Amino acid sequence: MSHFLEVEHLKMYFGGVKAVDDLSFYVDEHELLGIIGPNGSGKTTVFNGVTGIYKPTGGKVIFDGKDITGQSLRNMVYLGISRTFQNLRIFKAMTVLDNIMIGDTKNNHSNLFNAVFHTPRYRKYEEEARQNALEILEMTGLTEYRNKYVGSLPYGMQKRIEFARAVVVNPKLLLLDEPAAGLNSKEAEELMELIIEVKNRKGFTIIMIDHNMKIMMSSAERIVAMETGQLLAEGTPSEIQNDPDVIKAYLGEG
Amino acid sequence: MNMKTLNKFSLSRNKALVAYLIVLLLMIIAPLVIKDAFILRLFTTTYIFSIVCFGNMLVVGYTGMLCLGFVAFYGIGSYAGALAAKELGFGFLLSVLFAGIVAAIVGFVISLPCLRLSVDFVGLITTSFLNIFLAIARNWRSLTGGPNGVTGIPRPVIFGYRIASVTSFYYLMLIFMVLSFILLNNIIHSKYGRMLQGIRDNELGAVSVGVDSRKMKIFAFTVGSLFAGIAGSLYSFYISAINPDNFIFNISTQIMQMCVLGGMGSLPGAVIGAAFFTVVPELYRSLALYRIGLGGIIMVLCMLFRPQGLLGSRAFAGDKGFADRIKRARVVAQQKKAAAK
Ligand SMILES: Nc1ncnc2c1ncn2[C@@H]1O[C@H](COP(=O)(O)OP(=O)(O)O)[C@@H](O)[C@H]1O
Ligand SMILES: [Mg+2]
């Protein structure tokens, strides 16, 4: 009992499709948990259920001792959870700096009056937000691109920007949906190093979905393997690697 | 490191500020140089339309809600301001404020059904709303004067100073335009502006970092309508007689065209678009008849060669422009050639 995040008997049904079916797992504080599974096995849907994009058909999500089942996506940042998306959801016609500063909205308390008249109070909050964003940009190696429009940057950079946006929220729990997908192996490696570094510096707890077994094996502390919406196996990377079910269902494929 | 960052940042902002001040200066001295009343009137109209375009820009260009019937809020402001001055005896400034608030309230109400709809349905709802507004304006004769509209709207009087000459109207509208620009520019460069643009670019992404997209959409619609209403009442006072034909769908299209040409997501672009579509058709009188056709051609050219408009951000266009495709095709061809060698 009383892990940092507990997902209990989560069910996510879409009509007849049982995308997630009675899945339970947990994460402890400061842990990096990996979720693996073939395409369509329900990994993303787990994130969508936990972060309130879809209401779970059944089951519970307990975060930091609180039942947060079915809370809205918007509330997640206030609870201390932020996430990235498998299909990038960044702001392409905005600068990198603005993309990151949006992530800081919940800490920026200037009200409309201050904003409309650019009062000293507004400037103070704005400067704080900018410094905060610049710090994250520095940490994620994006400083020199801060004034570039995100849409004009390469895909690998965009992935990094979405990660940085999730970091500036300063969550307790960070959910990363295939952060390395679509990157070449060098980019993927660099991004993973960055994720681990940021995690250690900020003391985040992370759940990460990825296809890449190599990446998972080297970075995750524990792994949950899924198949057709259900738990296939759970354990340390080496346990998972040697699990006969996993080998059959996942590793055996490719 | 951080110092350098900041310096660079303030430099680009200062550059923009210098550009704005130069343009403002030119606008201020224009009546001293240009003695042609006809041209000054065109500029005056440009300033009024700029304010409507600012409102439209906030809703469409910054928040990404396709409001096709935006002229309705301008019309509501026109009628509200005109009737407040004529029937209720309100002073000029109070009438303008009243017009803005009435339009804002209506904008607020119209935004509610738009919240959960996709872009195209927002377009449909706002177009239907324009038709409802026009039907009311044409048929509620006791209030709106029906097809004849409201005439004999009194000249503005501000602090005892009566605005009647071409030049005084020019400066009056310039002041309103500049004030509107400053206020909206401030909003856009604050966290509110970031939230709106976030919703425009990727609503789910914005919500995932805590943006209240419903609240912000209502906000954009309400504030956009507020400025449309203010512009509408200024128009009433300027031409002193309005009728429903001033607010038909064509005008709405034109407002949209001004924003597209100037560049979605750019306030200075709104002024340039407004100036172009106000001045050019009038200077070449024969073109005025084809105003909408001219707009259509320019829209097509924009789509092909510069989807982001004159001043809109490059990234806004994505890579959908015709010119972009040609460029990409060239790069690909070159790569192929290089590979073949
Ligand atoms: N909103 C939805 N409506 C219907 N079916 C969905 C929806 N979201 C996911 N699914 C289905 O759930 C299954 C799991 O999808 P997903 O969680 O995206 O898999 P993964 O991320 O593991 O590749 C798929 O069969 C998918 O079609
Ligand atoms: Mg997925």
SS3 track for A209-252: ECCCHHHHHHHCCEEEEEECCEEEEEECHHHHHCCHHHHHHCHH
Residues of A in contact with B202 (CB under 8 A): 89-92
Predicted model pTM: 0.89
The rounded mean pLDDT for chain B is 87
The 10s digit of each residue's pLDDT in B252-279 is 989 998 998 888 888 999 999 999 999 8
Does residue A107 belong to the interface with chain B, where contact is any CB pair within 8 Å?
Answer: no
DSSP per-residue string spanning chain A: ---SEEEEEEEEEETTEEEEEEEEEEE-TT-EEEEE--TTSSHHHHHHHHTTSS--SEEEEEETTEE-TT--HHHHHHHTEEE--SS----TTSBHHHHHHHTTGGG----HHHHHHT-HHHHHHHHHHHHHHHHHHHHTT-GGGTTSBGGGS-HHHHHHHHHHHHHHT--SEEEEESTTTT--HHHHHHHHHHHHHHHHHHT-EEEEE-S-HHHHHHH-SEEEEEETTEEEEEE-HHHHHT-HHHHHHTGGG-
- Residue A40 Cβ inside 6 Å of ligand 1? The answer reads yes
pLDDT confidence bin for A75, thresholds 50/70/90: very high
* In the predicted structure, residue B5 carries a pLDDT above the cut 80: no
Residues 254-283 of B with CB under 8 A from A: 265
Measured between CB atoms, which of A74, A91, A112 is closest to B207? A74
Does residue A89 belong to the interface with chain B, where contact is any CB pair within 8 Å?
Answer: yes
Does residue B127 belong to the interface with chain A, where contact is any CB pair within 8 Å?
Answer: no
Nearest-CA residue of chain B relative to A118? B186
* In the predicted structure, residue B44 carries a pLDDT above the cut 70: yes
Residues of A in contact with B196 (CB under 8 A): none
pLDDT at res. B6? 46
* In the predicted structure, residue A152 carries a pLDDT above the cut 90: no
CATH fold label, B39-285: ABC transporter involved in vitamin B12 uptake, BtuC (1.10.3470)
Considering only A53-67, B8-22, B43-57, which range has the smallest mean pLDDT?
B8-22
* Residues B170-175, mean pLDDT to the nearest whole number: 96
Considering only A9-23, A56-70, B62-76, B275-289, which range has the smallest mean pLDDT?
B275-289
**Backbone φ and ψ of B265, nearest 5°:** 80, 25
- For the complex shown, is ipTM > 0.90? yes
pLDDT at res. B7? 46
The owner of tokens 């190093």 is A193
* Residues B20-35, mean pLDDT to the nearest whole number: 91
Residue of B315 and B164 predicted with greater confidence: B164
pLDDT at res. B2? 43
Nearest-CA residue of chain A relative to B13? A147
pLDDT at res. B160? 83
Query: Token pair for residue B5?
Result: 């960052």
* Residues B129-133, mean pLDDT to the nearest whole number: 93
Residue B233's closest CA among B156, B309, B301, B303? B156
The 10s digit of each residue's pLDDT in B197-209 is 999 999 999 999 9
* In the predicted structure, residue B10 carries a pLDDT above the cut 90: no
Measured between CB atoms, which of A77, A117, A149 is closest to B210? A77
pLDDT confidence bin for B328, thresholds 50/70/90: low
The 10s digit of each residue's pLDDT in A174-228 is 999 999 888 888 888 899 999 999 999 999 999 999 877 788 888 899 999 999 9
Does residue A13 belong to the interface with chain B, where contact is any CB pair within 8 Å?
Answer: no
Residue A227 CB contacts under 8 Å (≥ 6 apart), including other chains: A37, A38, A41, A249, A250
Atom of ligand 1 nearest to the CA of A12: 12
The rounded mean pLDDT for chain A is 90
pLDDT at res. B99? 97
Atom of ligand 1 nearest to the CA of A48: 17
* Residues B289-297, mean pLDDT to the nearest whole number: 73
Largest CA distance in chain B: 82
* In the predicted structure, residue A5 carries a pLDDT above the cut 50: yes
Q: How far is the CA of A102 from the centre of ligand 2 (A)?
A: 25
* In the predicted structure, residue B322 carries a pLDDT above the cut 70: no
